[in-house]
Structure 1
Amino acid sequence: MIEIKHHGAISGVTGSCHELVLDKNTSVLIDCGMFQGAESSGSESSNLQLDFPIDTVKALFITHCHIDHVGRIPSLIAAGFNGPIFASRATAQLLPLVLEDAMKIGVTRNKKLISQFIKLVEKLIQPVDYKQWYPANPVSGLRFRFKPAGHILGSAYIEFEYNKEIILFSGDLGAPYAPLLPAPKSPWRADRLIIESTYGDRLHESRRERRKNLQQIIRHCLKDAGTVLIPAFSIGRTQELLYELEGIIHSQKGTAWEALDVIVDSPLAAKFTKHYRNLSDLWDAEAKARRGDGRHPLNFAQLITVDSHRQHLKLVNYLKNSGRPAIVIAASGMCAGGRIVNYLKALLPDPRTDVLFVGYQAEGTPGRDIQKYGPSGGYVYLDNEKTEINAGVHTIGGYSAHADQKDLINFVKRMHHKPKEIRIVHGDSEAKWALRRELSKICPEADIHIP
């Protein structure tokens, strides 16, 4: 029987990396992600290190290109891996951008070394189409299929077939009715399932409710002449927010909303947004219809993109001193680094500011601390400096790119042939146990366990 080993995402939600062991000489990896927050060891470079042997690893399969799923690829290649990296066509385009950024943060800023590494990665990447079975060459007898996961552009869950057994890795599943991307559809069959549980213990707001909440928070910003800071991952969340903001502004024609600046302060997010526009054939029907009406949901008039670090610092000071209403979307999504930190240090003490969290905040990250202590007027440490929180702090769970408990249950429930074994990963302890209880009701004969 195939053995499954887990090298991450078992004590929390980061560091996704799973090994499918076919025999003593042959295995493949599914994702190779970086640890973040309380799950990390502290330094960026050590979070990129591998803690398992790779001598049997013949291929790598990528579910999607968030850093917690791909951030340890530089270490994998440095350790000698030179097998194929299988990815969806969209992920194949985005992965080099993500890895270049990861190299700059955690490995080196030497442009020549980074360029050499990216060229090597590009040679190893093998793009595949959704919904087609492929042989996992050079692994004999194993075949695989990618299916849309609806999490971010290019995201997939992966089905493996070996000795007539189907083993499915969910990666990160998206929420139905999310902007831009179609919802994931359940497979016909899975004998063994490795499923994420990020929101395994909670339900999201409806899209109508979360859009209403987003509009109310921005209306407050217009009234107070302050800034709304939205920490967001460069890929996925940023584009979904732009899509929703364009829709709200479009519905408020002839009002002050049309003069509201929407600022994306992330060169990486700007590059990803361009790819999202170019890959609009992967959008859902609603997004395609909006584009067909002559609108530009990811490139509208109020959108401002900040490129250089000098521009960034100038804008931080301008917003701190001017009180001009603006929405700033900047990475990182958990406030653990990136340009959002400078905005937070400058604007958290200002009561006119609002901070809006639209994604999961892992334990041990500044984002979780702001979310937890901000509403009571607490403080947070940013770059080892104590920063008072006088800003308003809001959370809209519905904008998470992750499926909630109901969606995860439905993903399994709608399978015609349900799994005999389910492993629950990628979640906090409470979320995993809550999902286990619910899954046991629909799969009472399955072996459901938490690694």
Structure 2
Amino acid sequence: MDGARTALTFLGGAGTVTGSAFLMEHDGRRLLVDCGLYQGERRWRRLNWEPFAVPPASIDAVVVTHAHLDHCGYLPDLVRDGLTGPIWGTRWSNALAAIVLRDSGRLHERDARDARASGYSRHDPPLPLYTAEQAEQAIAHFRAASYGELVPIGDAIDFTLSPAGHVLGSASVLVRAGGSRVQFSGDLGRPWHPILPPRASPPDAKTVVIESTYGDRSHHVAGPAHHAMAAAISRTVRRGGSVLIAAFAIDRTVLVLEALSALVRAGDIPEVPVIVDSPMALAALDVYRDAAEHGQLQTGIGADLVDLPTLRLAPTPDESMALNRPGSPSIVLSASGMASGGRIVHHLRSWLPDRDNSVILTGFQAPGTRGRELVDGARDVKLLGRYVPVRAEVVHDEEFSVHADADELVEWLGQMHQSPAAVYVVHGEQRASIALADRIRDRVGCAVSVPERGEKVLVDDTDVPTGSASPAVRSSSRRAR
């Protein structure tokens, strides 16, 4: 141990399932693990507009666990406000994150224009959180690291990535600083994934930061796979309606298309046109095909990822607008997966009032999102400044989740050769984080904490022996300075 203290500050992803950002500090160096946008409830989204908790220019580097917006979506603001160092991720994560950030910048610009034209914003003039040009400036900082490669950040900190099995290119991060080792789970996949190789077992570390998106539940599925979705599609087509599937562009669209292919082959749903209406999803499909050609998917999966003879693409705005009045039964996949933005908002405005139609939500729906409102039975939802009635059938298919559930998260921890001394449970709704913390405390037998946003802890390995019941030294709710 060189005498310098090692600190970890929970700048985001604490108390909520979005906005992940964790700061490691040692001997004057700073490494930020993830830099995500807050999504969902307004009280969280407002934090996107606050100055970052530490001066971005003081951060030496950023490492991004994967390409979802709640883990990388704040990067353009960080670069705009002074970050000059590299932004690390795997090759495939970087390719997907570039797509995500470009789309996010365009959406922020469009939302500001729409708000200005419609007059429904409280701000005058309404401004984008960041622009497409600022997204490009952040992308220029991307650097690629391979799984298992040791990446030094100066002479004080280094990190190593390992497969997380969540989405293409996703990683868990082991950070070494001085004598300390801190393992960040990132978003963990399940022990298996429909198209990706499995997640890796974690290396030993005395401090672990673990996500808890599904920390209070298990993925128990009764009956045939995707039965609820198949039944909803069949009912909708019989009554002459169409099906709108909300699917994240990154990973989720590929999985939904694969499931629809299997359901058609099995005769569980009728053959009707299937349209992918998300420019970001189409770009992501190309990245997945490239990854398949480079052997990055499961053995036997090639560039032809799906087998749907009726598959069509809707890359242009005019083609997308035509889908608002489909005319005959069809299945449309559109983003975002929580119906919080993108082309799907326009489709919802046209489709929700029609009882013949169905809307299928795939996977987790965060509190405060439009998808969560629909899952919770909202009778009316606000879209583009106006409320519309919800008459269409709403179905929630959680089988698409590629988040580890509570048992699988504890199983991942149990794969360490030595139990950690302290575990910090983050990136979950409060009840999910608390439930997972209780489960880890009972089964692993180490100190467990659900940190508050802004809380700072010391993670020196010399302070707490492995297996000790004492938590790492912590300063109660102290903000980073």
TM-score, length of structure 1 as denominator length: 0.88
Query: Aligned partners of 2:197 and 2:235: how far apart in 1?
Result: 32
* Cα deviation, residue 446, structure 1: 2.6
Query: Does structure 1 residue 71 correspond to structure 2 residue 79?
Result: no
Equivalent position to 1:266, from 255, 275, 278: 278
Letter of the 2:143 partner, please give it: Q
Letter of the 1:98 partner, please give it: V
> Per the alignment, in what secondary structure is the counterpart of residue 279 of structure 1?
helix
Partner of 1:276: 288
Partner of 1:82: 84
Partner of 1:405: 406
Query: Aligned partners of 2:29 and 2:96: how far apart in 1?
Result: 28
8 A contact 2:38–2:48 mirrored in 1: no
Which stretch shifts more, 349-358 or 271-280?
349-358
Query: Aligned partners of 1:413 and 1:37: how far apart in 2?
Result: 32
Partner of 1:248: 263
Partner of 2:9: 5
Query: Aligned partners of 1:266 and 1:196: how far apart in 2?
Result: 28
**CA displacement 1:17-46 (0-9 Å, x = unmatched):** 1111113x3211011111112155657x95
Equivalent position to 2:95, from 93, 96, 109: 93
Equivalent position to 1:373, from 377, 388, 397: 377
**CA displacement 1:88-119 (0-9 Å, x = unmatched):** 11012222222212222236899xx9676566
* Cα deviation, residue 245, structure 1: 1.3
> Per the alignment, in what secondary structure is the counterpart of residue 195 of structure 1?
strand
Query: Aligned partners of 2:269 and 2:338: how far apart in 1?
Result: 31
* Cα deviation, residue 351, structure 1: 1.6
Letter of the 1:407 partner, please give it: E
Letter of the 2:368 partner, please give it: G
* Cα deviation, residue 264, structure 1: 0.9
> CA 1:114–1:37 in 2, change beyond 3 Å: closer, same or farther?
closer
Letter of the 1:343 partner, please give it: H
Partner of 1:195: 210
Partner of 2:186: 171
Letter of the 1:160 partner, please give it: V
* Cα deviation, residue 215, structure 1: 2.3
Letter of the 2:142 partner, please give it: I
Give matches, 1:318-329, under 5 Å.
319=326, 322=327, 324-329=328-333
> CA 1:116–1:36 in 2, change beyond 3 Å: closer, same or farther?
closer
- The alignment of Structure 1 onto Structure 2 pairs a total of residues equal to 429
Partner of 2:168: 153
> Per the alignment, in what secondary structure is the counterpart of residue 19 of structure 1?
strand
Query: Does structure 1 residue 414 correspond to structure 2 residue 404?
Result: no
Query: Aligned partners of 2:50 and 2:341: how far apart in 1?
Result: 16
* Cα deviation, residue 162, structure 1: 2.5
> CA 1:399–1:86 in 2, change beyond 3 Å: closer, same or farther?
same
Partner of 1:135: 151
* Cα deviation, residue 183, structure 1: 2.7
Query: Aligned partners of 2:25 and 2:213: how far apart in 1?
Result: 25
Give matches, 1:287-298, under 5 Å.
288-289=300-301, 291=302, 296-298=304-306
Query: Does structure 1 residue 303 correspond to structure 2 residue 303?
Result: no
Query: Aligned partners of 1:35 and 1:449: how far apart in 2?
Result: 18
> Per the alignment, in what secondary structure is the counterpart of residue 7 of structure 1?
strand
8 A contact 1:143–1:160 mirrored in 2: yes
Letter of the 1:398 partner, please give it: E
Which stretch shifts more, 54-63 or 222-231?
222-231
Q: Percent identity?
A: 30
**CA displacement 1:157-176 (0-9 Å, x = unmatched):** 11112234321111111123
> CA 1:297–1:423 in 2, change beyond 3 Å: closer, same or farther?
same
8 A contact 2:57–2:84 mirrored in 1: no
* Cα deviation, residue 350, structure 1: 1.5
* Cα deviation, residue 423, structure 1: 0.7
**CA displacement 1:385-434 (0-9 Å, x = unmatched):** 22111221111222112111111111112221121111111111110111
8 A contact 1:11–1:39 mirrored in 2: no
Partner of 1:335: 339
Query: Aligned partners of 1:114 and 1:187: how far apart in 2?
Result: 37
Give matches, 1:327-366, under 5 Å.
327-366=331-370
> Per the alignment, in what secondary structure is the counterpart of residue 329 of structure 1?
strand
Which stretch shifts more, 180-189 or 430-439?
180-189
> Per the alignment, in what secondary structure is the counterpart of residue 249 of structure 2?
coil
> Per the alignment, in what secondary structure is the counterpart of residue 185 of structure 1?
coil
> CA 1:101–1:40 in 2, change beyond 3 Å: closer, same or farther?
farther
8 A contact 1:197–1:427 mirrored in 2: yes
Letter of the 1:417 partner, please give it: Q
8 A contact 1:7–1:19 mirrored in 2: yes
8 A contact 1:232–1:333 mirrored in 2: yes
> Per the alignment, in what secondary structure is the counterpart of residue 56 of structure 2?
coil
Name the structure where helix makes up a greater proportion of residues.
Answer: 1
**CA displacement 1:252-285 (0-9 Å, x = unmatched):** 3xx973x311111111110001111111122123
Partner of 1:29: 32
Query: Aligned partners of 1:225 and 1:176: how far apart in 2?
Result: 39
Give matches, 1:224-235, under 5 Å.
224-235=239-250
